[in-house]
Amino acid sequence: MITGKNCIAGEFSANGGVEFKTINPKLNKENPTTFVEVTKEEIEKAVDASWEAFKVYRNVPGKQRADFLNAIADEILALDQELIDAYTMESGLPEGRAIGERGRTMNQLRTFAKLVETEDWRGNTFDAAEPDRKPLPKEDLRKTMIPLGPVAVFGASNFPLAYSTAGGDTASALAAGCPVIVKSHPMHAGTSELVASAIVKAVEKTGMPKGVFSSINGRVQAGVDLVNHPKVKAVGFTGSITGGRALFDIAAKREEPIPVFAEMGSINPVIITPDAISQRGGEIAKTYAGSITLGTGQFCTNPGLLLTIKNDNTEDFIAELAKETIALDPQCMLHPNIKSGYEKKEADVTSQSGVEVVGKVDADLEPNYAASAIATISGSEFLANPKLHQEVFGPFSLVVQCKDDAELLQIIEGLEGQLTGTLIAEDNDTINLIEVVDALQNRVGRIIYNGVPTGVEVCPSMQHGGPYPASTDSRFTAVGVHAINRWVRPVSYQSFPQSLLPEHLKG
């Protein structure tokens, strides 16, 4: 049952006077539950409890942390239809998407559980003493990874489950031995509360310290207060460049600066060779129409920029892409604010000099449904206008027609950091793509060949991050088991007696 309260170390409370409701974007009306924003005192209580829990939880054996993560997955599944209904009611997304995202969330939790069952993930290193080494003896040295401390996690608007309360940031932080305080996203606070209740049950069933998890309701000020708290030691965020950069700056200005691992904006460039267009332009157009509109374009890996060399086939391909895109049924966006943001950004881009709108849905739409659109521009005009580099969060893509390979390379090298880059090519193109790959890998975290960027596999080889502003630290991933490395730091033990070493460093 959704109460509208904050979850403070296992206890549900609502001491504040500021209230809000979520929106059902399909019906364009408020949902019935009233949510109460967290107070500073409740934040203080949550963080204090997490700090006390950290003293215990950081030493909980990996097998027990694994049991805890698996119990969370079990309790999420036990929420059954109540969770699915809350998800669809607050997001406007279909039930199939809700079920799929629930499965992904559970898979992430179970993947991290499997990871921490042994201590191999710490990457322990052992350097034996060499007392007789000349000219100086060598001391015994052993290195391991230890958790940073309480982590503040900010839920994402576009993934109410997989990037939110029990999503990848929370799962990886708990796996590392860090307590978590989640600031739920106000667009799906009810979904978040249900998941929080599942985590509380898992805490109780596995005997974890109560302060290992809290979840708070709130908007901007709640996030600021949380990040400013001296006992919070790291931040996980998925959202806009504006929001992520604001948190990054707050964390950097603290008396003790802390890391902010923010996954932010990306237009995910796609390079399509002329041969690929000539050989299978219709197939590519159909595939990319589906990718551009998938989830109403509300994915961080949405292909918002297509690059190709202008030739006799280019205009036909762009026309076909536009035809395929606008033929797909318009879909509901997550919230009225996201719909208005999409319309503003799309208008900003399409009103720029040289931009031609090739196709756009022209129909009377329900209030929060989005009109898909495809536009095009020349390479020289794109290079001259930085405003065209901005992310349009929704079902929109800009096709840039470059005059030659040199201009294509110049565009790639001038892009801001991106999550992904994609090459659509024929086998005979590969010898000519070495420079393109070299330029692209310097700007992105993941390169796809003859595929689509939408869809992020949860596995060890996944890199979900990239140079700024795709993320605040391109050395780390937000998806896959290596996401755990964000929440730990290395410690070396020199000349230590066995009795004082952690168990996983003994021997």
| DSSP letter, residue 369 | B
Q: Examine the residue annotation and report whether 332 is marked as an active-site residue of this protein.
A: no
CA distance 222 to 195: 20
Catalytic residue among 7, 42, 52, 300: 300
Catalytic residue among 52, 101, 193, 263: 263
| DSSP letter, residue 138 | B
Max Cα–Cα distance, the chain, nearest Å: 84
CB 439 within 8 A of CB 411: no
CB 445 within 8 A of CB 415: no
CA distance 315 to 169: 43
CA distance 423 to 445: 14
CB 237 within 8 A of CB 243: yes
Angle among Cα 295, 155, 197 to the nearest 5 degrees reads: 110
| DSSP letter, residue 218 | -
CA distance 69 to 88: 25
Characterize 172-187 residue by residue with b for buried, 16 or more Cβ atoms within 10 angstroms of its Cβ, and e for exposed.
bbbbbbbbbbbbbbbb
In terms of DSSP H, where are the helices of 328-398? 336-350, 379-384
Sheet with 213-216, side-by-side order of all strands = 11-13, 6-8, 213-216, 180-183, 151-154, 234-238, 260-263
220-228 helix and 40-57 helix, angle to the nearest 10 degrees? 40
Distances from the Cα of 100 to the Cα of 45, 93, 159, 160, 322, angstroms: 35, 11, 11, 12, 29
Sign of the CA dihedral with 50 first, then 51, 56, and 58 last: positive
Distances from the Cα of 159 to the Cα of 97, 154, 280, angstroms: 10, 12, 33
Distances from the Cα of 326 to the Cα of 61, 297, 341, 375, angstroms: 54, 13, 20, 12
CB 119 within 8 A of CB 502: no
Burial (0-12, 13-18, 19+ Cβ within 10 Å), 405 = middle
Q: Examine the residue annotation and report whether 263 is marked as an active-site residue of this protein.
A: yes
Residue 265 main-chain phi, psi, to 5 deg: -90, 155
**Active site residue ranges:** 263, 300
